[in-house]
Amino acid sequence: MVVRTFGISVLVTIASLVVAFIYGSWEAVALCAILGVLEVSLSFDNAVINATVLEKMSEFWQKMFLTVGIIIAVFGMRLLFPLVVVWVTAGLNPVQAFDLALNPPAEGSGQESYEQILTDAHPQIAAFGGMFLFMLFLNFILAERETKWLSWFEKPLATIGKLDQLAVIIAGLSLTLVAEFLADDQHRATIMIAGVLGMITYIAVDGLGSLFHTEQLEEDHERDVASRAAGGPSTLVKATGKAAFFLFLYLEVLDASFSFDGVIGAFAITADPIIIALGLGFIGAMFVRSITVYLVRQGTLSDYRYLEHGAHWAIGALSVILFISIEYHINEIITGLVGVAFIGAAFLSSVVANRREERSDGDSTPKSGGGESPSEMATATD
C-alpha cells in the first residue's frame, strides 16, 4: 500500500534531483531537497483537507485531481504564477519575466530583480490567499457538528454560527482591520480589493460545488430508493459530473491558496524558477498528493476523528499568519511548525479518544458466571 501510493513520488523525486544536478550541480540538488521538505511541511494540513474533499469524489475525478491537478499545481502555481505576478505588476511579458528570473540584473543597475518584484506583490497575494483560507476556516468552525475537538470553544462558536452569513461578517470586519492596521497607504486599497476577491472566490466556488452536489445527492437518492425497491443493493453516493468538477475546481483554488506562502518563502532560499519548480512542484507537490491519496485509501480521517478539525485550525492559523505577513516577515519554519503542531495535537487527541472508547467497550462486555465466554455460552444454548 505504502509503496504503491508513494512509489511515483519517489521516482519523480529521484528524476527531479537528477535534472537539478544536470542543471546546476550539487548545489541545485541541495536546494531542491530543501524546497521539497519546505513544501511538505507547509502543506501537510492541505493534504488532510484535500482528503476530506477527495473522498467525496468518484474514482474518475480522484484520478483527475492526481493527474491534471498535479500539472496545474506544478506548472500553474509553482512556475507560471510567479511569472504572471511579475508580468502584471512590472509590466513585463512572460518571456521577459522568465528571462529576468534566469538572468538577475547586476547590482546598481537600477532594475528591480524578479525576486524583489514578487516580494513587492506579497501584500496583495497574502490578502487574497489569507481571506480564502479564513473563509474556509470560519465556515467549518461555525457549523454545528456532531464531533467536536475543542468542545469548550467549538460549542459556543457553533451556537453563534447559527446567525446567517456570520462568516462573511467576521471575514469582512477582519479584512477591514487588516487593511487599516497592517497595510500602508500605498497598499491599503489593493489589499482590500484582493481580500474581497478572495472572499468572492471562496463563496462562488463553494456555493456552486454545494449546489450541484445537492442536486446530485437528490438524483442519486431517488435512484437508490428505486434500486432498493427493486431488490438491488444500496449505492454509495460519490460526486460526479458538474458536482465533481466544482469540487475539483475548489481543490485547485485551495491548493493555490496554500501554495502562496511556499512560493514566496522559496525566494528566501533561491530565486531560480527552475529550482523552485523542481523542489516545490515536482518533489513537494507530488508528495502532498501522495499523502492525500494515502489518507483517503487508508480511511485515516474516519479512524482519527479529530484530524479534520486540527487541519482546519491549522488553516485558520495560516490565514492569520498570511495577514500578519502583510506588514511583518514571518519565518516559514514557524508557519510549517504551527500546522504540524495542530495536526499532531489532533492526532494524539484522536488516539486517546479511540483508546478510551475501547476501554469503555471492554468494561461493558457482559461476563459469564461459569468461566465460559459469551460465544461458548451461545453455542451451548444452541
pLDDT(257) > 90: no
- Residue 304: half-sphere exposure toward Cβ, Cα within 13 Å: 23
- 368 lies in some domain: no
Q: Is residue 75 a part of any domain in this protein?
A: yes
Q: What is the pLDDT of residues 289-320, one digit of tens each?
A: 888 888 888 878 788 888 889 888 988 898 89
Instruction: Give the integer Cα–Cα distance in Å for 317 and 377.
Output: 55
Question: In this structure, is residue 376 part of a structural domain?
Answer: no
Q: Which residues of 251-264 are buried (b: 16+ CB within 10 A; e: fewer)?
A: bbbbbbbbbbbbbb
Residue 378 resides in a domain: no
pLDDT for position 173: 95
What confidence score (pLDDT) does residue 324 get?
92
Q: Sign of the CA dihedral 43, 44, 49, 50?
A: positive
pLDDT at 207: 76
pLDDT value of residue 102: 75
Average pLDDT over residues 247-269: 73
CA distances from 158 to 140, 175, 311, 315 (A): 9, 22, 18, 18
176 pLDDT above the threshold of 90: yes
- Assess whether pLDDT exceeds 60 at residue 172: yes
Give the pLDDT of residue 148: 87
User: What's the average model confidence in pLDDT over 74-95?
Assistant: 74
Contact by Cβ (8 Å): 13, 305: no
- Position 68 scores a pLDDT of 82
Residue 240 has a pLDDT of: 63
Q: What is the pTM of this model?
A: 0.74
Question: pLDDT band at residue 136, thresholds of 50, 70 and 90?
Answer: confident
pLDDT band at 223 (very low <50, low <70, confident <90, very high): very low
CA distance 110 to 157: 52
Residue 377 in domain: no
Instruction: Give me the domain span that covers residue 171.
Output: 2-360
The confidence score (pLDDT) of residue 378 equals: 42
Name the band, by pLDDT with cuts 50, 70 and 90, for residue 349.
very high
Q: Mind listing the pLDDT tens digit for each residue in 368-377? A: 444 444 444 4
Structural domain contains residue 257: yes
With CA atoms as reference, report the closest residue to 317 among 338, 343, 348.
338
Is residue 373, in this structure, part of any structural domain at all?
no
- Nearest in space to 263 (alpha carbons), one of 280, 288, 247, 250: 280
Confidence at 79, pLDDT banded by 50, 70, 90: confident
Q: Which residue has the higher pLDDT, 11 or 210?
A: 11
Residue type, 327: E
CA distance 252 to 297: 20
- Rounded to an integer, the average pLDDT of 140-150 is 87
Max Cα–Cα distance, the chain, nearest Å? 94
* More confident site: 362 or 135: 135
What's the domain count of the chain?
1
Burial 168-200 (b: 16+ CB within 10 A, else e): eebbeebbeebbeebbeeebeeebbebbbebbe
CA–CA gap between residue 20 and residue 25 (Å, rounded): 7
Compute CA distances 134 → 62, 309, 357, whole Å.
25, 14, 33
pLDDT of residue 375: 41
Give the per-residue pLDDT at 320: 92
Side chain identity at residue 206, one-letter code: D
Residue 243, domain member (yes or no): yes
Q: What is the 3-state secondary structure (H, E, C) of the chain?
A: CHHHHHHHHHHHHHHHHHHHHHHHHHHHHHHHHHHHHHHHHHHHHHHHHHHHHHCCECHHHHHHHHHHHHHHHHHHHHHHHHHHHHHHHHCCCHHHHHHHHHCCCCCCCCCCCHHHHHHHCHHHHHHHHHHHHHHHHHHHHCCCCCCCCCHHHHHHHHHHCCCCCHHHHHHHHHHHHHHHHCCCCCCHHHHHHHHHHHHHHHHHHHHHHHHHHHHHHHHHHHHHHHHHHCCCCCCCCCECHHHHHHHHHHHHHHHHHHHHHHHHHHCCCCCCHHHHHHHHHHHHHHHHHHHHHHHHHHCHHHHCCCHHHHHHHHHHHHHHHHHHCCCCCCCHHHHHHHHHHHHHHHHHHHHHHHHHHHHHHHHCCCCCCCCCCHHHHHHHHC
pLDDT at 1: 65
In the predicted model, is pLDDT for residue 162 greater than 90? no
